[in-house]
Amino acid sequence: MTEAITRRPLRADARRNYLRILTAAESVFAEQGAEASLEEIARRAGVGSATLHRRFSSRRALLLAVFADGIEALCERAQALTEEVGPGPALTTWLRALAAYTATHRGLAVSLLPTGPGLEPAEADNTCHSMLNAAGGRLLARAQDAGAVRPDVSLADLLTLVNAIAFATEGAGDPGDVDRLLVLALNGIQPRP
């Protein structure tokens, strides 16, 4: 999950508080987006604001903790796709899954940005971003080697497109818009005749 868990084992009560905070945060972020009140999250979790801030050093750290399992599943899906379908379809299928997940989980698009407003480089936890870069990078390299994607396309380009589409459609309620816009954008990554 996050650094707070992997550093050292938590006491049972601290672990319960941690899980209650994550559950409350997932709910509040889904309702209100990435700028949701941290005090509201603490209130719903039944903990004090200081407890939340002790467990999560920043809003971004909390967002990333909430989305860590979903990002891990997307990365596992990338690996499975390399064994299931050809290089071009594997990349586009994965990008579509990433866009759908990001658009339907309010706050994720913002938390996946490598930096952002008010985010100092020292506070940046890019674990999720790094995981996505590794998984997507392998898919992109495979697709480029097969000639299914232009050689001048970078993974940063693709993640920017996905993130922009997800951010623009976040909470819109129509997953078809996400897919339609992504397909439109991806038509530009194919080799030109």
The single-letter code of the amino acid at 108 is L
Look over the chain and give the mean of its residue pLDDT values, rounded to a whole number.
Answer: 82
What does the block give as tokens for 11? 């006491």
Express each pLDDT in 23-38 by its tens digit. 999 888 878 877 889 9
d(CA 20, CA 161): 34
For the four alpha carbons of 51, 71, 24 and 177, in that order, the dihedral sign comes to positive
CB-based burial label for 145 (10 Å; 0-12, 13-18, 19+):
exposed
Express each pLDDT in 129-181 by its tens digit. 788 899 999 999 999 999 999 999 999 889 888 888 887 877 665 667 888 88
Express each pLDDT in 70-89 by its tens digit. 889 999 999 999 999 999 99
- The position carrying tokens 């200081």 is 50
Selection from 97, 79, 73, 77 nearest residue 166 by Cα: 97
CB-based burial label for 23 (10 Å; 0-12, 13-18, 19+):
middle
Selection from 165, 191, 192 nearest residue 87 by Cα: 191
Quick check: pTM over 0.85?
Answer: no
Assess contact for 154 and 190: CB atoms under 8 A.
Answer: no
How far, CA to CA in Å, does 80 sit from each of 83, 87, 159, 190? 5, 12, 19, 22
Selection from 166, 41, 61 nearest residue 120 by Cα: 61
